[in-house]
């Protein structure tokens, strides 16, 4: 079992940057692929980015590709989401999630594949 705690959200102007962190508490962080999802008011939760257990493989939603970067530090049991060139449409609650996987190189982009979720952190981008 793992508990996930996000931080780093806030209010930023369009074009600005934020760095989200997700700290994992529990055992075997390196056994989890990690993902970031977001949910805007009135919309479904959507995939943002994912990273494999080893950190060697990553993937992004088309809407954030080239602007967001996911990374992880297994020694610190933390996953990050660096968000640059933020747009008002990036406004949402951002959630990190952990997926139990036996493969070091895989990850999922599917909401239902993740086993643990954080409480979310609000990101608001003003125009």
Q: Give, for all 127 residues of the chain, the pLDDT tens digit.
A: 899 999 999 999 999 999 999 999 987 899 999 999 999 999 999 999 999 999 999 999 999 999 999 999 999 999 999 999 999 999 999 999 999 988 888 899 999 999 999 999 999 999 9
Amino acid 27: pLDDT? 74
Q: CB under 8 Å to 114, separation ≥6 — which residues?
A: 35, 97, 98, 99, 108
Amino acid 56: pLDDT? 93
Q: Are 79 and 96 in contact (CB under 8 A)?
A: yes
Between CA 5 and CA 3 the distance in angstroms is: 7
């Amino acid at each position: 079992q793992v508990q996930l705690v996000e931080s780093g959200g806030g209010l930023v102007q369009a074009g600005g940057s934020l760095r989200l962190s997700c700290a994992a508490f529990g055992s075997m962080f390196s056994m989890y692929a990690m993902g970031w999802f977001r949910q805007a008011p009135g919309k479904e939760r959507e995939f943002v980015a994912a990273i494999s257990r080893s950190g060697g493989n990553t993937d992004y939603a088309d809407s954030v590709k080239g602007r967001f970067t996911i990374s992880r530090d297994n020694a610190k049991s933390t996953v990050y989401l660096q968000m640059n060139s933020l747009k008002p449409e990036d406004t949402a609650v951002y959630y990190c999630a952990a997926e139990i996987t036996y493969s070091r190189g895989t990850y999922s982009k599917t909401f239902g594949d993740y086993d643990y979720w954080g409480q979310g952190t609000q990101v608001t981008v003003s125009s």
